[in-house]
């Protein structure tokens, strides 16, 4: 399935809410604090649950040296049946095994705001995070080339990328916004 679209992450009282302009499905992710484990779910079929309270506890103290591969393992469920899990490897990055297929999350070199999701070196879809944020909303542009699963799972994986690769506590919104506005101002002055 080939398509382009946007997924917007909003912050609510209960957690993060992900809405897509190309689907009526939404995804939700809870806030985590202390030993609370992350749970990401869609409104119908899929749930990604984080495991390993001990690893979560250790990461609370080592958050300054956090990398996405340090995140505790997630288990993927479809209608309460386990269908997959994340595979974290310092050398190969983060992958998620769904049934017998492995989807790999590749951060594009020198482009820290682009993630390609591949299977056997074929790009299934790309996630491009907007660098400019308003009201703590993250906006992701999705370019799907070879996506063969349902749209609901794709929205869940975008939410997964948001909380793993772009965790809120790692962002300094004022610095990011300041950089982007300065960059825009510099472009105007060159004309």
The label of the residue with tokens 């020198």 reads: 110
| Segment 148-184, tens digit of pLDDT | 889 999 999 999 999 888 877 544 444 444 344 444 4
Assess contact for 114 and 128: CB atoms under 8 A.
yes
**Which residue would you say has higher pLDDT here, 147 or 53?**
147
Q: Residue 44's pLDDT is what?
A: 87
Assess contact for 102 and 87: CB atoms under 8 A.
yes
The label of the residue with tokens 């300094």 reads: 172
Of the pLDDT bands very low, low, confident and very high (cuts 50, 70, 90), residue 136 is confident
Assess contact for 73 and 50: CB atoms under 8 A.
yes
Assess contact for 45 and 26: CB atoms under 8 A.
no
Percent pLDDT > 70 in the chain is: 73
Q: Residue 167's pLDDT is what?
A: 76
Helices H, strands E: what count in the chain?
Answer: 3, 12
Q: Residue 172's pLDDT is what?
A: 45
pLDDT score of 191 more than 80: no
Assess contact for 111 and 128: CB atoms under 8 A.
no
| pTM metric for this prediction | 0.80
Counting Cα atoms < 13 Å in the Cβ hemisphere of 76 gives 18
Percent pLDDT > 90 in the chain is: 41
CA dihedral 82, 20, 50, 83 (to 10 degrees): 10
pLDDT score of 118 more than 90: yes
Q: Residue 38's pLDDT is what?
A: 84
pLDDT score of 98 more than 90: yes
Of the pLDDT bands very low, low, confident and very high (cuts 50, 70, 90), residue 110 is low
| Segment 38-89, tens digit of pLDDT | 899 998 899 999 887 666 666 666 655 566 666 778 999 999 999 999 997 7
Q: Residue 61's pLDDT is what?
A: 62
- Give 10: exposed, middle or buried? Use CB within 10 Å, 0-12, 13-18, 19+: middle
Helix (H, G, I), strand (E, B) or coil at 165: helix
């Amino acid at each position: 399935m080939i398509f382009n679209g946007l997924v917007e992450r909003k912050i609510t009282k209960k957690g993060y809410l992900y809405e897509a302009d190309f689907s009526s499905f939404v995804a939700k992710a809870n806030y985590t604090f202390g030993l609370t484990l992350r749970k990401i779910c869609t409104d119908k079929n899929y749930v990604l649950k984080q495991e390993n309270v001990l690893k979560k506890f250790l990461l609370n103290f080592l958050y300054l040296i956090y990398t996405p591969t340090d995140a505790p393992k997630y288990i993927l469920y479809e209608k309460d049946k386990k269908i997959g899990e994340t595979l974290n490897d310092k050398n190969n990055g983060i992958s998620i095994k769904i049934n017998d297929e492995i989807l790999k999350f590749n951060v594009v070199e020198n482009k820290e705001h682009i993630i390609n999701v591949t299977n056997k070196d074929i790009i299934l879809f790309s996630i491009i995070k907007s660098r400019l944020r308003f009201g703590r909303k993250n906006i992701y542009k999705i370019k799907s080339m070879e996506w063969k699963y349902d749209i609901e799972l794709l929205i869940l994986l975008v939410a997964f990328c948001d909380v793993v690769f772009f965790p809120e506590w790692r962002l300094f919104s004022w610095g990011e916004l300041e950089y982007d506005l300065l960059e825009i101002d510099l472009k105007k002055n060159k004309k």
